[in-house]
Structure 1
Amino acid sequence: MDQPTTPAALDHKLAFMLLESFNKQGALTSWDARLTSMTPGACEIIVPMSNKVSQQHGYFHGGVMGALADAAGGYAANTLLMPVSECLTAEYKINIMSPGIGDTLIARGKVVKAGKTLVVSSAELFVVSLGKEKLCAVMQQTLFVIPRENS
């Protein structure tokens, strides 16, 4: 019988570099977003519901959903690119399948294909309400690979 595999851990220096980069994300940090999981080729970001991220009906704003999905796909790519390179979004397409009604929004990004100049990644967004996750959006994106600037 096959045993479930545990995702590989990131090198501590790389994880620290990714967290430093994430903490420079003004929009995400102002929304109290947190990078909660990082493994090679994948990451998870969560944001709590607040008036900073809601729209007029009290749901998560579609723009926030798009930004969170974009960041999750990008940081999933960066787990494979850093420390030499990183990425910038070239394009993304998001399908919002249900309103973001809940107390937390979760974006889980993963790399679909990593190349030398482009990376394709995807993300699934879940809204959590009463402790239950519900899939509310899916995103696919293309990212440019760029040299990492040492800051």
Structure 2
Amino acid sequence: MEEVEQRVARSFEAQGLMQTLGAQLVLVGDGEVHIALPFSRRLSQQHGFIHAGAITSIVDNACGYAALTKAPQGCEIVSVEFKINFLRPALGDRFLAVGKVHNAGKSLTICTGEVRAFYGEGPSCKVVAVMQATMMTVQHPII
């Protein structure tokens, strides 16, 4: 599993968007990945909560990297399709995107994701978004 964690971490670190957002990879498990995002006014929309684009980006990545934990060596993952539902405004001090694999096929992997909003340091949170995602396993290098 350590090799898979390193593979995911290297890929995550190469993503300029995650660096721009200030997102951090916090957990890589077998078929599950967590990505944290601190609140930032730079990522807010006009009403003061985190923009849907930022929320979508971190949960898409969490699902994609969860799929990568199931992909064969030498392969990469790309998003094919996703559907996201926003349940409430993304208000909080920090956010956690959780991506989980539900079925890993030869070429398509089905994942679900959710984004949790946290206030303060406690464990209490509210789910602000849920995602259903289809990821495709492709040979590396991607052209």
Shorter-chain TM range is over 0.9
Change (3 A) 1:71 1:16: same
Please say which structure displays the higher CA radius of gyration.
1
Determine which of 87, 93, 105 is the counterpart of 1:97: 87
Residue aligning to 1:34: 24
Q: Is the 8 A contact 2:21 2:54 kept in 1?
A: no
CA distance in 2, matches of 1:103, 1:82: 37
CA distance in 2, matches of 1:69, 1:22: 13
SS of 1:80's equivalent in the other structure is coil
Instruction: Work out the number of aligned pairs and report it.
Output: 140
Is residue 32 of structure 2 the alignment partner of residue 54 of structure 1? no
Q: Is the 8 A contact 2:34 2:97 kept in 1?
A: yes
Given the two structures, how large is their TM-score scaled by the length of structure 2?
0.92
SS of 2:41's equivalent in the other structure is coil
RMSD: 1.4
Residue aligning to 1:143: 135
Residue aligning to 2:114: 124
CA distance in 1, matches of 2:46, 2:14: 28
Residue aligning to 1:134: 126
CA distance in 2, matches of 1:135, 1:82: 32
Amino acid at match of 1:146: V
CA distance in 2, matches of 1:82, 1:106: 27
Amino acid at match of 2:39: M
Given the two structures, how large is their TM-score scaled by the length of structure 1?
0.88
CA distance in 2, matches of 1:70, 1:123: 8
Query: How far has the Cα of 1:30 moved from its partner?
Result: 1.0
Identity of aligned residues (%): 34
SS of 1:21's equivalent in the other structure is helix
CA distance in 2, matches of 1:101, 1:28: 20
Name stretches of at least 5 consecutive residues in structure 1 with no aligned partner.
Answer: 1-9
Query: How far has the Cα of 1:56 moved from its partner?
Result: 1.3
Residue aligning to 1:67: 57
Q: In terms of mean alpha carbon deviation, does 114-123 or 126-135 score higher? A: 126-135
